[in-house]
Amino acid sequence: IKTWLKQYNHIRPHQALNMRPPVPETLSGSGT
């Protein structure tokens, strides 16, 4: 499960974020 969570949160592109992984958006603070 940890491996899946890492992939889910860090690796997979996210459609709502213009196909970028969600974590960099969270770290940069450019989200909502």
- Return the DSSP state at 19: S
| Token representation of residue 19 | 């196909």
Long-range contacts at 16-22 (CB < 8 A, ≥ 24 apart): none
pLDDT (tens digit, 9 = 90+) per residue, 1-32? 777 666 666 555 555 555 555 565 555 554 44
Return all residues near 14 (Cβ < 8 A) that are at least 6 apart. Answer: 20, 21, 22, 25
pTM of the model: 0.27
* pLDDT for residue 18: 58
Domain boundaries, the chain: 1-32
